[in-house]
Amino acid sequence: FITMFVVHNFLFILFGVLLKLFNPISCASGETPVIVGNYDLPPTSRILNYKLANTLHCNITGTSKPEDFVVQWYRGPTQKLDPKEDDPHFQIKEDDLIIKAINDDILKDQFSCNLVSKDTKETVSSAQFQLLGKPTVKIVSQGTFIQDSKIVLECQAQGYPKPHIEWRYENTTFAHSFGRFALADNVDKGLVNYYLRVEGADMSDRGEYACRAFNDFTNSTEATIFVRIKDKYAALWPFIGICAEVIVLCAIIFVYERKRNKAELDESDTDQSPEQKNTPDHGKESVRQRK
């Protein structure tokens, strides 16, 4: 990709030089109109943000009469962008090209602003844009894992050219698998080190994890997540607690009922004793009468 990038830029610069050398307007007036883009990186790169609207702007220099020229925008070598057309992706406003939303298909194309003479309808200067997508990154994970299960983290990175991905756990940064930390690629998205997997999650694996996305032309972007490890018996403790509460409650009820029954028996014995003492012995009296 880098080789193609350099070759394209060289051809665009060569094309601009030839236009200047063989331009009849500049030879006749003594002026050399030049149009230059708002580049972020030399010679022709412009870094765009995925989440924002982006503007491509061209400045006209080398002429005292810029009103004699008009700016025309092209996508690729032949697709002219119409300022009056209602396009969901592009808008031309005061000679600026506003890209409302970017995707990789847009970033793959070359864009150019051409300076065209109103009199001759000829292109006198051209500025080419090589678009780059600033990487974005997001970690997708459930966040909490059960002890002895597998930790799986997904680094959803986006950028153009395709970004490189590095992982960090606490203070250790790694771009290759090592030990229990295994990195895997996402073939469909063409991203290396897209997944981080840790076999047999342990309490020591608890902590902050980060993935960093970067490419050769833009700054890096990092996302972090805090991973928690839950005891594998954690779901059992509430059940055990409920069982213990039931057992204690049953024991309390049993002891209470036993004491209450014993108290009732003692009370009944106490109530019957005086009655038994005051009851007359009619049997003895009947025996005396017979004698």
User: Which residues, 6 or more positions from 160, have their beta carbon under 8 angstroms from its beta carbon?
Assistant: 104, 107, 108, 131, 132, 133, 215
Instruction: Give me the pLDDT at residue 25, please.
Output: 45
How confident is the model at residue 17, as a pLDDT? 47
Q: What is the pLDDT of residues 134-168, one digit of tens each?
A: 999 999 998 899 999 999 999 999 999 999 999 99
Q: Where are the domains of the chain?
A: 2-132, 141-230
Q: Convert the pLDDT of each residue in 214-259 to its tens digit.
A: 988 888 899 999 999 998 877 777 778 888 889 998 988 888 887 8
Question: Which pLDDT band, with edges at 50, 70 and 90, does 290 fall under?
Answer: very low
2-132 and 141-230 agree in CATH topology: yes
d(CA 4, CA 108): 12
The second-level CATH assignment, the architecture, of 141-230 is Sandwich (2.60)
SS3 letters across the chain: CHHHHHHHHHHHHHHHHHHHHCCHHHHHHCCCCEEEECCCECCCEEEECCCCCEEECEEEECCCCHHHEEEEEEECCCEECCCCCCCCCEEEECCEEEECCCCHHHHHCEEEEEEEECCCCCEEEEEEEEEEEEEEEEEECCCEEECCCCEEEEEEEEEECCCEEEEEECCEEECCCECCEEEEEECCCCEEEEEEEECCCCHHHCEEEEEEEECCCCCCEEEEEEEEEECCCCCHHHHHHHHHHHHHHHHHHHHHHHHHHHHHHHHHHHHHHHHHHHCCCHHHHHHHHHC
Is the whole-model pTM more than 0.85? no
User: How many residues would you count in the chain?
Assistant: 291
- What CA–CA distance (Å, rounded) separates 71 from 165? 40
Q: Tokens for 249?
A: 């409650």
44 and 81 Cβ atoms separated by less than 8 Å: no
- Topology (CATH) of 2-132: Immunoglobulin-like (2.60.40)
Residue 64 pLDDT level (bands cut at 50, 70, 90): confident
**CA dihedral (24, 29, 35, 41) positive or negative:** positive
